[in-house]
Structure 1
Amino acid sequence: MKRLKEFRQTCRSAFLTVLFVSTLQGANSKLLISSVSPDVVKDLAGNNVTLAVSFTGASNPTLTWFRDGLPVVTWTINSVSPPDIDPNSKDVLHVEKNGSLTFIKVPVNYSSNYRVEMTKSGLGTDSHQFTLQIFEMIQSVTLNTPPIRAKEGIDQFTLQYSMLRGVIEQQTWFFNSKVLKNSSHYLVQETSLVILGLNRNDTGLYSVRLTNPFSNVTAQKEVIVFYGPDEPILKATPEKSFYVAGDSVSLSCQSEGTPQLTVEWIFNGQILSMDSNGVLDLKNVQTNQGGVYTCSLLNPMTNEKREKNVTLNIYERPPGSPVCSVLSVNNDSLLYECDWMGGTPPASLSFPALSSAITGEGNLSLTFPASTNLNGKTVTCQADHPIQQNTCNITARNPKVFLPEVRATVDVDSKIVVSILCVSEASPQAVVSWSNDSGAIANGTAYQISSDTTELKIRDNSISNLILQNFTCTCRNPLGSQTRRIQLQGPSISDSRVFPNQDGTIITLTWEVPPTSVVTGFDIQMKGANLIIKKGNTSQAKITLDGYHTIQQKPASARSTDVFTLDPKQTYLFRIIPKARLADGVPSVVHRIGPPDGLSGPAIAGIAAGIPCSILAIILVGGLIFLIIYLKRNRSHQTKYPVPRTTEKAIPPAKINHPEIIPHKPLAGGLKFFPDYNSLHQSLSDRSVALPAFVPPPPHVRVATTV
């Protein structure tokens, strides 16, 4: 009995101890679940998959796994009792000792949302959510269209895909490699693409790409939308309101449609041509071939048919059209002409604005003195024919203001050839005369005038001789003249710019030259870092440029150039040198390419950080100086006097007691104190300054005077 009592006391003590420890643990612990697996787990059907978890803060909690909110597994961890598993999932689900959930040869239909929840009395509850996605390999995908024809105008046209097996995570539809999305024209459904309001622009290659994390398959289908015939376009070539007997006429009938349309030409109830190109050629037409021609178009796939008529008029008349012209007579009169030859009968021609009484048949010429009334006046030639009335117009004008054009080249004799072109719009055509400071210019060795007088060529060995001359061109016809004075300039650049690419490895230089500048070429010069030159496919070489070096030469017609293989970390200077043969003109402005000047970001940051430190150091040094001066002034409070020589001889310096004196204050402007004669061992004759004045001591100080 005693032993039983002792055993009960021992059990009670152990129980209280366990209860205390449990209470203490509950006061300081909390049940927590940690995810070992990703929150979203993707795997192939038939594999073993584990939703792995771990927990802390409690031992042997109660575990429950939920699938879409419904419990499928319940178990107390480390319990001797087996887990309670949903009967429909016993062959698939297995609970690990740490509470993780394993799927044995997981089927496809186990894709779902799973949640694990653990509970421990006194330590709370915790849970974690998983998403399990089970996939199959995608196999044997085909893309099909409905049996109906893809005809323009139908409301809906569906492309449907099918597959032997597989689980789709994402489907993407394409039209001619362009991704399709839901819109007013396309509707993407679960396994199909619906085209709303099918039209001809929907013809092309459609494809669907089916993907999951373990496979992807693409299926394609060519869709041809049948349409047409559209409204036919009839055209007669040459296009005229009527045709002359003997002409050849080509009638064309064009219409849009797919597949290729069948075209028939019908005249007077007979089929003249049945051709897919829709062209009817009529050669050497006669008047009995005039009438109504019908174009009939048929779509062989849709059986849609459309017809359109054209009327062909055929007459005999003069060929072509009347031609008007105005010529200069002795450079003081205007000759107006109108020609329309041939035809039966010949056409009657007249210039009503010049003379209503004078007419001609087939040809008419009228001469009038040049006057301001005719300048800019449009004169009409009226051509009357029994079949047709026709006109042509001509306007006489004085020369307009013009700009000369200057070009320069170098001939085979190494001479500079300057071409000056003076062309003024005028009717009749203006005749150009040339002169310089010496008078009129005629063809010769140094000067050559073109056959139409519009161009003057000047040859010389030196650009200096050319720019010293002034040239004048005058454009003249019977109604007036225009004169331009040209002073040639040396080679120069009026404007230049540089455009680097985004990487800083290529630049484009552009420039302009004055209109009268004589330029035969340009030198592109560079100064700066090494220029990288590629050799072959891989090797590179660097060219070191000291000063400006010519890197390119351009002809006179060039206005831009590209410079390649620059180092974006280096600085380059570029300029353009205009040249007239061997003479260099004024260089363009210098264009700088490279990193910007100035302090870098780290340097600025360092300066900004150092300013407060510098100010603090200055304050400390100033305080230290002030303290030293203050202490020095306190120590130097005795008044010092010059000691007589006799005293120095009688009394040793160590035994002389100096009375205290008030120290002198420093003078303004940084002047020094008077010299301390007590520390100087000079004779009176050696002293270059007067002794300081005697200052009487205070009354309580005794002064000893030594004689």
Structure 2
Amino acid sequence: MTWTNEFGTLSSVFLPILLSFTFHVADCTLVVSNAGPTLVNALAGSNVTLAVTFEGAPDPVVTWFMAGLPVVSWGIASSTPPDIDPNRRKVLRIEADGSLSFVNVPLGYTSNYTVEMVKTGVGRSVTNFTLKIFDAIQNVTLRVQSGPAQEGADQFTLQYSVLKGGVEQEMWFFSGVEIKSNSHYLVEERSLVILSPNRSDTGRYSVLLTNPFSSVTTDLNVTVLYGPDEPILEVRPVRPFYEPGDSLSVSCQADGFPPPRAAWAFGSQPLASLHGVLNLTHVQTSQGGKYTCTLINGETKKQRQQFRILNIYEKPPGVPTCSLQSVNNVDLQYHCRWVGGTPQAQLSFPALSNTSGAGNLSLTFTASPDLDGKTVTCMADQPVEKNNCSITAGSPRRFLPAVGTTVDSTGKIVVTIKCVSEASPQAVVSWSRGSEADPNTPPSQISRNTTRLAIRDYNVSNFLLQSYTCTCRNPLGSQTREIQLKGPSISESSLFTNLNRTVVTLTWEVPPTSIVTGFDIQVKGPALLSRNHTGPQTRDGFYSITPKPGNARSADIFNLDPKLTYMFRVIPRARMTGGLPSAVHRIGPGGGGLSGSAIAGLAAGIPCSFLFVALLGGFIYFCVSLDKNTSRVTRYPASRAVEKAVTTPTETAPHKLLTGGLQPPPDYNRLQQTPSERSVALPTFLPPPPVRVATTV
């Protein structure tokens, strides 16, 4: 039998077994599901069960979580007792099928519950429940939350309280008619809000409270009071300000029931008035200020206040303010403002001009290097107070453009370049693309404030064809920066591991002008070959295990085997275009696979070995042929020893007699790996085909 026939026989035997094992593993999936409703209502003190079923694996480990915290854990059919939270052992029980039971369940067990079943080698499955515990509703009280109801108020609120029992549904009624939320009523949890109440809202209000186990109705009669309305103040005579010796009166009136009374105060000092009218005679400068009228409703005790400021040569409020503006991006306009007061303040810029103005002053000058960095002061002269403010002009400073990359809803890459320079007055930004002065045409778009340039395209290479220039300019100067965008790239990367070497953190940075919309985290290592991954294996043996967004600069990889060797790298991407990978970072014992020189030696040695074997065979054939032609020795019958043949055994290691000490080349194609990519022992290789060797006597 030839080696080809033997190989076919072995394939016909082991291939069905391998396929059967593969499909059997693929069909085993652990599934846990609820055997009843996922929302369960229960009366406090009763017994209740959250029932589940499972399939796909026998005797999994079940864990119940209450609000995310484990409370019960048990291996189904295990002889070991369940592990139950010591504080909950009187209430919680776990059934043989993994269901969770509650004995005399208290109110505090209202929560979200999650059951997780795990079977090694099969997988993990979870399902969720919500358990609500209720008491019978008792002792319901209805009251007005914020005092008596009053017309003209923003709102008043009816609120109920329950001594015992949980409320699942509430319904409000006014004079027997159900109330729904609208522009006048707002039904909230535990309360009813009447918006902008009026006298027609007086009447009987009721609330109906229910839960799955009880129902209670409570009534309350409400009377709406009104007033005082917003006070109206009138000053006689009407003047913008008053001088010493003037006389005036200020009245304060408002509607309300009962009619409100007025009380006046100057600052914190009470003042006497007659029927709400305050009479001031022969006023002096010290009497200028804030006069407050307070209207009081004698029934509700509600107060409304209004005030009037009487200006008697009072200084302007606040302090002077200075600002600087650009005029047509050529001239500088200095502005000083301090409005109000009596008389108005006189404003001037002594370092710039002798010109002055009252309350508001603007001066325009041609921009010059002398003004760059110069601080000028506005002097404010007012009888009551002198004050000042300062402003400094400055040309644009050097800046770094900021580049950001996103993907819009149509799938286009959007690269945004932002140019902002610190300057006073604020710098105006202009753009150019190559030799094009104004790139505000597709695929480019300049923002309304001109500080951002957005470029949209599907192809990354189109972004790299042109350079972009932004110029920040004000009347005192300009700063220009040229931006040449780069494709997706990584500038540097690092790898950190925890003490147990089971978790690694991969960090990286990208160049400031690189176009990146995301990253692929790739790993190579034998322990990850059977795990889920997001893409096929690359030629150099790496798998993409998780994608990261463009703004990410780190990634955590968990559940590593500290006894094995792994290699990690980051691939930057601009949509579907991948850039050069980062440096490869290795973690694990050993040499991490064959070195580059070993791979090169092995690659050169394999064809040389085949060539040597071919030359050796030709030389032997030549010697045998030469011997037959030159030797005339009489042939004798062949000995039976001639028929004895040596056949290579079927062990995995080749017979030394047949190979002359040469090892067959490793079958790296079985795992699609090169020698330098291995981090574990090489796999067992197929033996060479059987060889028959005859011995001539």
Instruction: Specify the TM-score bucket, using the shorter chain as the normaliser.
Output: 0.3 to 0.5
Structure (1 or 2) with the larger CA radius of gyration: 1
Instruction: Provide TM-score, normalisation by structure 2.
Output: 0.39
Q: Which has the higher contact order (CA 8 A, sep 6+)?
A: 2
